[in-house]
Structure 1
Amino acid sequence: MLFSPLTLRSLTLRNRLWVSPLCQYSSTNADGMPTDWHLVHLGSFARGGAGLVMAEATAVVPEGRISPHDTGIWNDEQAAAWKRVTDFIHSQGSAAAIQLAHAGRKASVYPEWGTLAGGHAGRGTVPVEQGGWVTEAPSAIAFEPYATPAALSASRIQELVQAFADGARRSVEAGFDLVEIHAAHGYLIHQFLSPLSNERGDEYGGSLENRARFLLDIVRAVRATVDVPVLVRFSATDYTEGGWDEDQTATVAHWALEAGADLFDISSGGLVRAPIPVGPGYQVPLAAHVREHGEVPVNAVGLITTAEQAEQILREGKADAIMMGREFMRDPHAPLRFARELGVEFDEGADIWPPQYVRANV
């Protein structure tokens, strides 16, 4: 099943082994532009046989970047720069995807390794004088120890809905075959969804319908703008009592399906600091829950590292596709290896082995 095709709308993916969006913090000039690093990084996964290669969390507005060195899709110059990446991915037989994102209160922080391109080093919120900015969120509640964000006005919320739609349009112009709306890991849309970070008293806060309104507005706006498949990434639980959970995720996923989304990428955590029971396939039960109770297609992600593990998840009906992150970083050719381990024989014209590498498949 892992190497069987999957069709979403008019897009047929050659297999069900996909690359998770992986933050690289490598837009070196802090201008949101992808670089040679992104070409080689993402291109290597396509060469390695992935069915879908998804670019990292890419900001739809400058204020939506996690760090000053995140990629963006808020202007046409960025879209043009992405084109050579998507062209190479396509040349290797993979589909190209992009994750559209806004980090909300978790924006404007130092890269994971702590140093900006200009030499400034630190942890947490980047000061304005070092290229940081005032963050924005549904409510003025900080993700400690980051800076307290400004609460979004209703008019700014509508501007951001349009920014996601514009980002989707530019993504398609850049050659991406699929877009994913990032509603997970404690970033802006997740901040609206969870009562732990959303204390609004207007139509965007309170009830589940109101907390889901921002996401559903975005899904509808994106669907009205582009014809490509639309994924939504959810964190299915906050791992905290009184927070977002898998039942709410299943309900909102079904609403999003009705609004025009096609498949749901199920992760977890990131909104508040809470212990996460990490282990092999630890998020697979969450994906299975959302698939069953939301009656929606899903992919599973989270410490999936072997061919047998990935194949079993699909055969047991717990997910419709598999995303991997760290395993792909360790081995960009994981699909080639998995195919050999599973004894997959490809039909003529469907082989994922690049002709330059066929000698290794003997």
Structure 2
Amino acid sequence: MAAIAPASAGPFRVRDYSHTMTHLFDSVTLRDTELPNRLTVSPMCQYSVEERDGLATPWHHVHLGSRAVGGAGLVIAEATAVEPRGRITPNDLGIWSEEHADALRDTTEFVKSQGSVPGIQLAHAGRKASTSRPWEGHDPLQPDEGGWEVVGPSDDPWPYEDQAAPPTRAMDADDIEDVIASFREAAEHALDAGFEVAEVHGAHGYLLHEFLSPVTNDRDDEYGGSFENRARLIREVTEAVRDVWPAEKPVLVRLSGTDWIDDEESWTVEQSARLADLLHEAGADLIDVSSGGISPASFPDWTGPNYQLALAEHVRENAESDIRVGTVGGVTTPEQGEAIVRNDRADLVIVGREFLRDPYFGLHAAHELGHEDDVEVPAQYRRGFTERL
């Protein structure tokens, strides 16, 4: 194919769109909450509660605080259990009491003092609960080993390899009401702790995703069967969180855009786009699009750069509402994040592992992209960045 010549007769010019296009370090407003930039720290489990009481430790304070120092616009705390049986491991962070809120208040205040916005992911592990930490084998814990009974949409346990799962019980109507109430109360505690953004965890094979996916939901009541019934619990949870979350502050929902299972009886990106509109009606402002986790087979064949971006784009382009979308997965360079935002492919760029490798990824990204004026290096660290920023 012949090259297409520029329309003008004169020499070709590269236009500077830097003042007309949105970039990674432009602010974004969700409801009345302004995020200073589009770079977000993904919620990442730390499994660092040592007393098995769900209370935050100095580790959580340093982990979250250092990413705020490092230039992230939004810092989201890890999957935080809304009730004790909703923990993945005994070492998970919790937010089911006022004591848990008290343990996090200094952290949220520090994050805000650095110009970032503190968020929290409200979670329930469902049938994936009651395990040891990943570096301890991630093995199922029986009640006599410090584990507990787990619940899910059915009594089918997580299919552990060569190990028995903890007792798994199908939730009844009272259990469902209790879970909804737990999310509502957890949101109240999170607000009291000083968080500005609440994210409902509906992904990665945890409880709300288990109700969404036909892979794990074989109920025949109002919470199973049809798409509308399978979506009922996450809608009711989102509504419950929205009811107690201030009108000026945003509610996010993380979804697995697809189960990555080539089967009609699985969760698909088409259903995710459809659900996004229902969640928008329920009060959600942004869908954080991840993927997988519903079973050991629920993983993509390839996890390279931006491997989940197409899912986020599909949700954004096919949802009928104006709900915002964030993308996560395989973002490791400033250029990737900049391209996603400049090309209007997502509203937030949500980064996980790269922020583990480099807590100051935001400051380094601003330098590399020429947006030094859009970030503030803390006075205590400026001499270390003099040559770079």
Q: TM-score, normalised by structure 1?
A: 0.95
**Structure-1 residue corresponding to 2:324:** 297
Kept in 2, the 8 Å contact 1:141–1:148? The answer is no
Residue deviations 1:89-122 (CA, integer Å, cap 9, x gap): 11111100000000000000010111xxxxxxx5
Kept in 1, the 8 Å contact 2:36–2:73? The answer is yes
What letter corresponds to residue 201 of structure 1 in structure 2? D
Residue deviations 1:282-325 (CA, integer Å, cap 9, x gap): 00000100111114311111010111111111122210010101
**Structure-2 residue corresponding to 1:117:** none
Given candidates 306, 327, 339, the residue that maps to 2:354 is: 327
Are 2:255 and 1:234 equivalent residues in the alignment?
Answer: yes
**Structure-2 residue corresponding to 1:267:** 290
SS in 1 for 2:305: coil
Identity %: 50
Are 2:267 and 1:244 equivalent residues in the alignment?
Answer: yes
Q: Map of 1:1-362 to 2, 5 A cutoff?
A: 1-114=23-136, 122-145=137-160, 146-147=165-166, 149-227=168-246, 228-240=249-261, 241=263, 242-274=265-297, 275-276=299-300, 277-295=302-320, 296-346=323-373, 351-359=375-383, 360-362=385-387
Q: CA RMSD in A?
A: 1.1
Gaps of 5+ in 2: 1-22
Could you list the runs of 4 or more consecutive aligned residues of structure 1 that deviate by over 4 angstroms after TM superposition? none
Q: What is the CA distance between 1:142 and its match in structure 2?
A: 1.6
SS in 2 for 1:147: coil
What letter corresponds to residue 346 of structure 2 in structure 1? A
Residue deviations 1:43-99 (CA, integer Å, cap 9, x gap): 100010100111000000000000000010001101100101111111111100000
What letter corresponds to residue 141 of structure 1 in structure 2? D
SS in 2 for 1:108: coil
Q: What is the CA distance between 1:263 and its match in structure 2?
A: 0.4
**Rg (Cα) greater in structure:** 2
Q: What is the CA distance between 1:238 and its match in structure 2?
A: 0.6
Gaps of 5+ in 1: 115-121
Aligned positions, number: 352
What letter corresponds to residue 325 of structure 2 in structure 1? V
Q: What is the CA distance between 1:345 and its match in structure 2?
A: 4.1
State the alpha-carbon separation in 1 of the partners of residues 250 and 215 from structure 2.
Answer: 31
Q: TM-score, normalised by structure 2?
A: 0.89
State the alpha-carbon separation in 1 of the partners of residues 368 and 386 from structure 2.
Answer: 11
SS in 1 for 2:135: coil
Distance change >3 Å, CA 123–CA 19, structure 1 → 2: closer
Q: What is the CA distance between 1:353 and its match in structure 2?
A: 1.4
State the alpha-carbon separation in 1 of the partners of residues 376 and 252 from structure 2.
Answer: 24
What letter corresponds to residue 338 of structure 2 in structure 1? E
